[in-house]
Amino acid sequence: MLNTPEIVLDQFCVSLRNGFLPDTLPLQKLNDPYYFPWEEVVADLPARLAAGNIRQAVDSLPILATSRLQEESEWRRAYVVLAFITHAYIWGGERPKDVLPPAVSCPILEVSKHLELPPCATYAALNLWNFKVSSPDIDLTDPDNLSIITTFTGTKDEEWFFMVSVAIEAKGADLITLMLNAIYAANLADHQRVTTLLYQLRDGLQELGEILERMYEKCNPSVFFYQLRPFLAGSKNMASAGLPQGVFYDLGGHGEWHQYSGGSNAQSSLIQTFDIFLGVEHSATGEAKVNSAPQSKPKIGYIQDMRNYMPGPHRRFLEMMIRTSNVRQFAMSYKADTEVRNAYNAAVMAVGAFRDKHIQMVSRYIITPSRTNPNQNSSAHVNLATVTAAKQVARPNDTPAGYSGTGGTDLIPFLKQTRDTTKAAAKYTD
């Protein structure tokens, strides 16, 4: 049984003020001169990628120890820097590079282990720990107030893309408190309080949807699809984009092949919290259906797998929510068309509506630009954008299936199944 949100949240690195964003602003630079070689590479990342010399810069890096990282903010900054370098190195050429040099492999494996994250560009690296503001007390729920620290392209489009997600996370902080209070109220069988909180959650989710739709203001679909999205791709299910075995993390004479999903909003602990709180259970694996022999072992759902791409404390918060959330059971103990059932259904449909907006956004930012010809420079490259566009040129009349997400999913069917599963949790009759 939960007592108060204050007691619960601290151990999970979740704050009443900022939710899953850090309670103090992310470190903008590692101040120890020892780590300046890393910082110098990411400071010039857009220019190096444009010039095509990022790999030479990374290959000349020394192997730096992580033992000088002290504060958690330093570990997080090191993770951001190394994650950006990793993906820039892999995808920053005409062909992807499937061997990561020791100067990156060694420290990112150590840093990611400390933070309980995979050694790649996750939602935490791209969003949660990669924003800055002009003053500490500024409103984080307005993306206009936010700026990006580290960037692949240096474009305002990229900054806006990430900062809209940061604003959603900030706005979601109040909803975390609200959900915890609803669980507590359900424990007390206070149906009126649960009803009120569920309607407040519905309203809050609608506000998140409004922030999401601000993406259209300052992020050009073509810039996103051809310039930014290729760097967000992972190394899992990326054979068609040039990584059939994933990426070899070279530790100096030895190492291992790794396959990881790329950065994805499915790695947002906030979005998964809504599902868990409402008792929505997703089973979609995100993989394209193929005619093959039955699997002896059922595959883990993609949504569940994405919890492995969250910071350890956030993952444990979700585990706590799975153990304690009782709101669906409580709502279903009341007959159809009662106040609490209607409030529960309204909250579920609000999550479904948020996912509808996301699907519409995917259509505009991925499907539509994939059907246009890339510029001459990018067409020589092999990456997630050019491979996707080439498929559409070859099969222009195909339905929007066969698109790969940055996480390696069969994108459109997966998103629609996730949306449909969400809405199906609403129950209007007994």
For the record, the structure tokens of 290 come out as 């193929």
Share of the chain above pLDDT 90, in %: 77
- Whether the CB-CB separation of 373 and 388 falls below 8 Å is answered with no
* Residue 123, in any domain of the structure: yes
Going from the C-alpha of 15 to that of each of 6, 21, 175, 233, 365, the distances in angstroms are 8, 8, 12, 30, 32
314 is in an annotated binding site: no
Q: What is the pLDDT of residues 238-255, one digit of tens each?
A: 998 899 999 999 999 899
Q: What is the DSSP letter of 69?
A: -
Question: The tokens of 335 are what?
Answer: 């007959």
Please give the helix or strand (H or E) that residue 132 lies within, else none. strand 131-133
Strands 146-148 and 247-250: unpaired
Residue 289: pLDDT band with limits 50, 70, 90: very low
Q: Is 327 left (phi over 0), alpha (psi -120 to 50) or beta?
A: alpha
Separation CA 349–CA 338 (nearest Å): 16
Band (393; pLDDT cuts 50, 70, 90)? low
| pLDDT bucket at 286, cuts 50 / 70 / 90 | low
Instruction: Give the burial string for 366-382 (b: 16+ CB within 10 Å, else e).
Output: bbebbeeebeeebeebb
Whether residue 429 is contained in a domain is answered as no
- Beta-bridge partner residues of 255: 250
In whole numbers, what is the pLDDT of the chain averaged over residues? 90
Range with the lowest mean pLDDT among 262-271, 312-321, 352-361, 370-379? 370-379
Within a domain: 255 = yes
In a domain, 336, yes or no: yes
Residue 430 lies in a domain: no
Q: What is the pLDDT of residues 67-88, one digit of tens each?
A: 999 999 999 999 999 999 999 9
The CA distance from 232 to 300, in Å, is 22
* DSSP bridge pairs for 258: 247
Q: How far apart are CA 408 and CA 21, in angstroms?
A: 26
**pLDDT of 146 above 60:** yes
Structural domain including 209 reads 5-424
**Which DSSP helix (H) or strand (E) runs through 183?**
helix 173-187
Average pLDDT value for residue range 136-154: 97
Which residue shows structure tokens 């996730």? Answer: 418
Instruction: Say if 379 falls within a structural domain.
Output: yes
Here the CATH number for the domain that contains residue 403 is 1.20.58.480
Query: What sign for the dihedral angle of Cα 267, 273, 276, 281?
Result: negative
Least confident segment among 1-5, 358-362, 391-395: 1-5
Q: Decide if pLDDT at 372 tops 90.
A: no
- Does the pLDDT value for residue 359 go beyond 90? yes
Give the amino acid at 395. Answer: R
In total, how many domains does the chain have? 1
CA distance 175 to 422: 18
Q: How many CB atoms lie within 10 A of CB 283?
A: 14
Question: pTM for the full model?
Answer: 0.92
Determine the Cα–Cα distance for residues 378 and 179; give it in Å rounded to an integer.
45
> Model confidence over 17-66: pLDDT tens digits?
999 999 999 999 999 999 999 999 999 999 999 999 999 999 999 999 99
pLDDT at 294 over 70: no
Distance CA 392, CA 118 (A): 32
Question: Residue 73 and residue 78: Cα distance in Å, rounded?
Answer: 9
- Alpha carbon distance 223, 155 (integer Å): 8
What is the separation of C-alpha 7 from the centre of its chain, rounded to a whole number of angstroms?
27
Determine, yes or no, domain membership for 323: yes
